[in-house]
Amino acid sequence: MKEGNQRIVSAFAPAGIGNVSAGFDCLGLALERPGDIVSIGNGSRPGAELVEIQGDAGELPRETENNIAGRVVQNMLTALRRKDALAIRLKKGMPMKSGLGSSAASAVAAALAANAFLGDPFSKEALLPFALEGERLACGSPHYDNVAASLFGGIVLIRPDDPCEIISLSYPKALYFAILHPDVQIATRDARAVLPDRVSRDVAVMQSSHLAAFIHALREDDWELIGRSMVDFIAEPVRKALLPYFDRIKNASLAAGACGFGISGSGPAMFALCRGRSAAESTASAMGAECSARDLRYETFVSRINPKGAEIIEEG
């Protein structure tokens, strides 16, 4: 391991889509972009110290112990019984409270960067609990779907047993996503409060069978079935009321050629699953036009799936 005051290790962790349609609380995927970057360098005193945050418009906690990245790195040092002096710099490259896994990206980037800086004491798999625990700080409960997708990339199915298992799924090469992030505020805690504690047995069966059909269709490149199986019977029916013009935006995306449509995580971002870049770009335009027509501010972008997940982008 190289030592020296100038050494810096930076990691990028991507945004993602959680709760993918029928995959409420158990299916997530990583997007190519945007994402967060965490850099770790030598600090001035033993332990983790958050020294800089960029791109958050001053909204994130500055105290190391109250910040996701700070907490993740400190917990790793504690687990290793090490007292290295680590200076943490966080560069937010994505909107917060968007439903695109912003806190997961910060947690994962921090874990990966710190691990590399410390000489890789942990495997990538062993970083998952640290990132989850950090994310719990921000959201009240950890989101396995966002954290696992950001860390490992691809589309991941969570089998939430103890210990939880992360299963990487196959998907068509032509899979693209059109993302709409409307200028609407929804706190993750509020989005969970509207969820039903119990569902009918029929709803449970519908959700199960649609998720299974979706996974099968992704594996078999069956685009028609991908579309038909993208139905969320648990969260979307109650959460869409929190999203202005949800039905209009959904209908516009499907009319523009999207295979399916859903809320990303707990919103307010929404996603359309599309076959090919051209369809995704048309869909993004159509979703944006619905917002423009109603004076709702928004951002749209198009992304493929990030197959690798978080990675070290700079070391030296």
Query: Can you give the binding site for its own copies, defined by CB under 8 A?
Result: 22-27, 157-161, 165, 167, 169, 195-201, 203-216, 219, 225, 228-229, 234
Q: Taking the complex as a whole, how short is the minimal distance between the CB of residue 162 and its own copies, in angstroms? A: 11
Could you give the CA distance from residue 306 to residue 159 in angstroms, rounded to a whole number? 21
Q: Taking the complex as a whole, how short is the minimal distance between the CB of residue 79 and its own copies, in angstroms? A: 27
Could you give the CA distance from residue 128 to residue 104 in angstroms, rounded to a whole number? 10
Q: Which of 15, 11, 10 is nearest to 153 (CA)?
A: 15
Q: Taking the complex as a whole, how short is the minimal distance between the CB of residue 254 and its own copies, in angstroms? A: 16
Q: Exposed, middle or buried by CB within 10 Å (0-12, 13-18, 19+), for 228? A: middle
Nearer to its own copies, 202 or 247 (CB): 202
Nearer to its own copies, 23 or 70 (CB): 23
Nearer to its own copies, 72 or 157 (CB): 157
Nearer to its own copies, 79 or 205 (CB): 205
Q: Taking the complex as a whole, how short is the minimal distance between the CB of residue 6 and its own copies, in angstroms? A: 46
As given in the structure block, the two tokens for residue 262 are 């859903």
Nearer to its own copies, 187 or 205 (CB): 205
Pairing of strands 27-42, 85-91: antiparallel
Q: Taking the complex as a whole, how short is the minimal distance between the CB of residue 250 and its own copies, in angstroms? A: 17
Could you give the CA distance from residue 119 to residue 130 in angstroms, rounded to a whole number? 17
For residue 187, the tally of other CB atoms under 10 A from its CB is 12
